[in-house]
Amino acid sequence: MAREFTSIGVVGLGTMGAGIVEVFARNGIDVLAVEISDAALDRGRTTLTRSTDRAVAKGKLDPADRDALLSRVTFAVGLAALHSVDLVIEAVPEHLDLKQRIFGELDRVCKPEAILATNTSSLSVTEISVATSRPNQVIGIHFFNPAPVMKLVEVVRTVVTSAEVVADVEALCARLGKVDVTISDRAGFIANALLFGYLNHAVGMLEQHYATREDIDAAMKLGCGLPMGPLALMDLIGLDTAYEILDTMYRRGGRDRRHAPVPLIKQMVTAGLLGRKSGRGFYTYERPGSPVVVPDEQTPARVDGAVADGARGISKVGVVGSGTMATGIIEVFAKAGYEVVSVTRGAEKSARVCEAVKTSLNKGVVRGRLSEADRDAALGRITWSAVLEHLADVDLVVEAVVEELSVKKALFASLDEICKPGVVLATTTSSLPVIDVAMATHRPADVVGLHFFNPAPVMPLVEIVRTIRTSAETVTTAQAVCATLGKTGVACGDRSGFIVNALLFPYLNDAVKMLEASYSTADDIDHAMKLGCGYPMGPFELLDVVGLDVSLAIQRELYLELREPGFAPAPLLEHLVTAGYLGRKSGRGFRDHTNR
């Protein structure tokens, strides 16, 4: 039977420590909150009071419950006050020597049966435990920020942590209403090991001027449904904290280049640009600690109209293709007021595309998103054809055919002959080099990537991919078109994966490697990313939806281009695809979907 904790100590009353104090006090447990000085103690008390007052103001906590919560908290200066608590959780800055000193002192102060826990998010719990004479009673209890809100707790056992201590802490997490995942002591644990490689990669994109901070963040929020973009999240975490976590993971995690902190992070930390807490990081904030972003010299002007300075006028659009993406793009352009010429290979495919567009528009009417008049007007703007020559007088052609380079190159060579001068030729490829398609024409300056996301009528994002030959006028025209469509266009260079896939799929690949190493289960990894990071889906849920074969193909392309060992496809992913485990579409992937 798990032991009952009646008193708990918390060392360190910064944002995280004060949040942990609140979690325990909310659940009826007496808490002894400890800091190193009266000034630090006052700051911690203020943080706790502000948090509980906000909860009352938002109707999430009754005033009487707040008062009862605060009455359970005792504040003290110095570790000696912790002599009689059942459990101590340390929540001081991420410096190993500091944590070891504290644990050495806690070992001397606390009663022999007390459990000593660290809230570290990246340091070795084992290395912290050896500073004590009771390493079997040392454990990691990693809360996520803000602790009163976030449901996940990573319970980190070392090779010598006793099974009883693990069971006691798991029971405590359940009492707190938290979801715990129990794992062994490895750099970054689950959430940070998967999160920070992705964040570091995003900073690398910015450092290389591949895309703007706004476009990188918008791409991941709108393309993947993430609660925050990676650069805004780095500002929230704190660039100094992010640097320490990455550096620790690089040194302790096999020196994977993906975890070697991008030099820009170190430069910003040295310059005091730490994120929200300093008032400036990747973005500039209203004041230190404020979440309100204010414009600065890096904030770009946005294209917000159909015709912007330097953009060509577009009124008639051709769409080539017969798949789901093509039908969605036809619908998007027709609803936005463009004349559309739909070209497919053969009358039968043309009829299918026509029927699919009508069905989708009718659904919009049924769901109240579209009036019957708007539906009829959109359909009236579409011309159906099986002849490429009908694209001779359009202003923009969007290609949405199969992802085979030879097919696309042949199509663009034909469009080069058919279309009038000045026509923008766009490919919707998600993985092929746009420059290869562009060079199949005699007008590479007019060729651009317009990567719509599926389903195109719903997804608000378009990646605008410029090659080294794409003219500024063509990019500006593409941005203006996206604005008219009501889409957010994010501009980037012509590299494998563009923004979204280049950041998303290495993260998914890392999750597969974690599972392959038997570090955790697919369910716990999914829980960690959904509950700890606010992701809409866990990596294995997403892999099964996307398709393991699709994921493998994209990861291979990224590895082929970047040649970094950390991007090599996980062998487990390759084996599953070889065995026919493709995800939902095959009925089996990382989970069995045959009865769902």
Which active-site residues does the annotation give?
Answer: 121, 142, 154, 192
Residue corresponding to tokens 């393991």: 548
Residues 6+ apart with CB under 8 A from 526: 537, 538, 539, 540, 541
In contact, 261 and 200? CB cutoff 8 Å: yes
Residues contacting 557, CB < 8 A, separation 6+: 431, 496, 497
Q: What strands, in cross-sheet order, belong to the sheet with 424-427?
A: 382-385, 339-343, 316-320, 396-399, 424-427, 447-452, 461-466, 488-493
Q: How far apart are CA 564 and CA 258, in angstroms?
A: 8
d(C-alpha 246, C-alpha 253), whole Å: 10
Distance CA 221, CA 227 (A): 6
Which backbone phi and psi does 282 adopt, to 5 degrees? -70, -25
> Under 8 Å CB-to-CB from 340, ≥6 apart: which residues?
316, 317, 318, 319, 330, 333, 334, 381, 382, 383
List, in order, residues 6 or more apart from 228 with CB less than 8 Å away: 217, 221, 236, 534
CA distance 472 to 209: 16
The DSSP bridge pattern shows strands 7-11 and 316-320 to be unpaired
Secondary structure (3-state) at 384: strand
Residue 281's identity, in one-letter code, is G
Distances (CA, A) of 141 to 195, 523, 535, 562: 18, 19, 21, 37
